[in-house]
Amino acid sequence: MNKNQRENIALITGASAGIGLELTRKLLSEDWQVVALNRSDFPTDDMRIQEAVKSGWLRIYKTADLADYASLRRALEEIKEKEQRIDILFNNAGGSFSELSFSKQGREKHYELLTVVPYIILMELKELIISGRLKTVINTSSSALKFTKEFNIEILEHPQTFRKLLGPYATSKLALSLWTHAIASQLAKDDIKIRSVDPGSNNTLRKGKKSGLPLLVIPLMKLFFSPPTHGAGKLYEGALGEHHNETGVFLLKGQVTEIKFKDQARNILERVNMIYEHEFLQRIF
């Protein structure tokens, strides 16, 4: 093995399916080490994945539910105990739900999983990122955020209505991109760069799993959306491509794109930080 191989380490959340799985495969094929934080198992029939597990190039940490703070804490503590550094953190885990539901902490589940949890993971693994060479964080966002017409903390945490894809999912992705923008200057003090990236339209439907997509979108996804390799490529380029020196930006179709409600970015950052400090760190769950 060339001494330069396996020197880069990426941590990917939601690495065992969809875009996360394809990103894992891509990085392993390019001689990266991958640290996976997952709820579900990797495909047992994927020989390259299984060989990477056996060799230690793919290291798996499991959590029952990323939105369950007790389970998340245990997984993050294990990562901090066993890993030496992280060059790129891909906050990729997500998904859309088919109905209005709430986390154990009492907040709307899209918001908890897609907005708050990526912040907690970043804060908890920050020292490992500082120890890395690339010091990069990529948050998986969505072009759905463009369709948000009303936006505030109350709508995020306790929405009164539910709409598939363009409701809590879209507002939560917008909130993610907003705190990504707001925290950039703070992270820059430690030479960390952070970006949110839209992976594009990908067919990530899974058999036996309820979809949070509108009924009309599902056949369109099957017919016209790209395979998850497309989204993995977008995240990869977002991390290592032409915008790798920029921070705090939202990348849509590979280009820096303005986002709405930027005046609320600082409020969102303060809110997720308060949740982190007063709930996650204080073990109120």
- Model confidence at 3, pLDDT cuts 50, 70, 90, reads very low
What pLDDT is stored for residue 207 in this prediction? 56
* Contacts of residue 210, Cβ cutoff 8 Å, sequence gap at least 6: 97, 98
State the CATH number of the domain containing residue 240: 3.40.50.720
- Model confidence at 200, pLDDT cuts 50, 70, 90, reads confident
Q: Considering the domain boundaries, does residue 1 fall inside one?
A: no
Do 48 and 27 meet the contact criterion of CB atoms below 8 Å apart?
Answer: no
Whether the per-residue pLDDT at 73 is higher than 70: the answer is yes
What pLDDT is stored for residue 129 in this prediction? 98
- Model confidence at 35, pLDDT cuts 50, 70, 90, reads very high
Residue 199 vs residue 208, higher pLDDT: 199
Q: What is the pLDDT of residues 164-186, one digit of tens each?
A: 888 999 999 999 999 999 999 99
Percentage of the chain surpassing pLDDT 90?
80
- Mean pLDDT, range 75-96, rounded to an integer: 95
Q: Considering the domain boundaries, does residue 169 fall inside one?
A: yes
Q: What is the pTM of this model?
A: 0.91
Q: Considering the domain boundaries, does residue 285 fall inside one?
A: no
Question: How many structural domains comprise the chain?
Answer: 1
What pLDDT is stored for residue 89 in this prediction? 98
Q: Considering the domain boundaries, does residue 3 fall inside one?
A: no
The residue behind tokens 């899209």 is 110
Q: Considering the domain boundaries, does residue 4 fall inside one?
A: no
The residue behind tokens 């990122």 is 129
For residue 260, the enclosing domain spans 9-280
Chain mean position to CA 216: 26
- Model confidence at 5, pLDDT cuts 50, 70, 90, reads very low
What pLDDT is stored for residue 225 in this prediction? 56
- Model confidence at 148, pLDDT cuts 50, 70, 90, reads very high
To the nearest whole number, what is the mean pLDDT of the chain? Answer: 90
Neighbours of 110 (CB within 10 A): 28
Q: What is the pLDDT of residues 208-248, one digit of tens each?
A: 555 555 555 555 555 445 678 989 999 999 999 999 999 99
Q: Considering the domain boundaries, does residue 222 fall inside one?
A: yes
What residues does 33 pair with on adjacent strands? 9
Among 23-27, 115-119, 147-151, 281-285, whose mean pLDDT is lowest? 281-285
Q: Considering the domain boundaries, does residue 106 fall inside one?
A: yes
What pLDDT is stored for residue 220 in this prediction? 55
Whether the per-residue pLDDT at 268 is higher than 50: the answer is yes
Whether the per-residue pLDDT at 75 is higher than 90: the answer is yes
What pLDDT is stored for residue 1 in this prediction? 34
What pLDDT is stored for residue 4 in this prediction? 47
